[in-house]
Amino acid sequence: MNIFSGLEKIVEKNYPLAKYTWYQTGGTADYFIRPKTVEQLKDVVTRCSENEIPAYIIGGGSNLLINDKGLKAAVIKLAEGPFKETQFDGEEIIAWAGAELGKLTLECVQKGLSGLEALTGIPGTIGGAVKMNAGGNFGDIGAAVESVTVMDSQGNIFEKSKPELCFDYRQTNITAKFILNAKLKLTTANPEQILRNVKEIWIYKKNNQPLNTRNAGCVFKNPRGVSAGALIDRAGLKGLKVGGALISEKHANFIIAEKTCKSKDILRLTETMKQKVMEQFGIELELEIQIW
């Protein structure tokens, strides 16, 4: 029996996932599914649940590492139809899960809406950004989120709003697997001033991060009160290489994937980084990147 009978137009089998991650490594998924409507997503999610097929949701793949062996699972990408849309209503925005974060940030600049400048230079999609509370030294997306519409593993749709929503450092209390959209509340400001802020943040990142390389952003979360990158640097690990994976000379919390890199190289390098930091400073680093 074909589990996804009737959905053949949106389902592909044994699909290579590497091209959907910034590391460009990893194996195949049993099923790769691109729903075009909320109803199709609900159908897919329900069938996965009924047939005990693990379901993963992939956004921009910008902080994701996929095992070289691939996934005995369905990987769902929300990048078609309504899932990539944004709707503006004064200072409020409804941003759907597949909307590109960078594109939305620039659109807000043009419209004179302030509140997302901190996300400048952060790749990915709204769904992933909200789920991980994307941000950096200048702030995070959680400050702008008013409510989130989600779908659980049984296909039920519901909304979570502040103050029920809690955003913390690189995490939220959203337990539902699928984020459909988020309502953002911004403030009106001078477009020229917003653009100046965006440029300042971009210059800072350009000077301090290995942009234009195959990386997935910061590998580890910052322990409370200290920089993970500084710890890795002080452990003397900058430039360390395992296979095709290299710790950046520019920012020690970034791993660069060279042309020959495999996911196993990155995994081995992360373990070395954790081990050395623990040995020298007694601090256990926690991964920020997602590993499937």
Q: What is residue 212's predicted lDDT score, i.e. its pLDDT?
A: 85
**Domain ends where: 77, 95, 115?**
77
Residue 87 CA to residue 145 CA, distance in Å, equals 14
In a domain, 103, yes or no: yes
Q: Do 73 and 92 reside in the same domain of the chain?
A: no
Please indicate, yes or no, if residue 171 is contained in any of the structural domains. yes
Number of folded domains in the chain?
A: 3
Cβ contacts of 10 within 8 Å, gap of 6 or more:
33, 34, 35, 36, 40, 44, 80
Q: Is residue 3 part of a domain?
A: no
Same domain, 161 and 218: no
Question: 186, 206, 226: which is the final residue of a domain?
Answer: 206
pTM: 0.91
Look up the CATH number of the domain holding residue 192: 3.30.465.10
pLDDT of the residue at 64? 96
Spatial neighbors of 69 by CB under 8 A, at least 6 apart, are: 27
5 assigned to some structural domain = no
Q: What is the pLDDT of residue 1?
A: 57
Q: Domain for residue 191, yes or no? A: yes
Low-confidence residues of the chain, pLDDT below 50? Answer: none
What pLDDT sits at residue 136? 83
Asked if the structure places residue 58 within a domain, the reply is yes
- The values of phi and psi at residue 88, to 5°, are -100, 135
Does 65 lie in the same domain as 103?
no
Residue 211 pLDDT: 83
Write out the residue range of the structural domain in which residue 88 sits. Answer: 84-196+200-206
CA distance 162 to 149: 12
Q: Which of 162, 183, 206 is the last residue of a domain?
A: 206
Instruction: Give the strand pairing for 71-77 and 55-58.
Output: parallel
Domain with residue 73: its CATH number is 3.30.43.10
Residue 283 shares a structural domain with residue 235: yes
How confident is the model at residue 2, as a pLDDT? 87
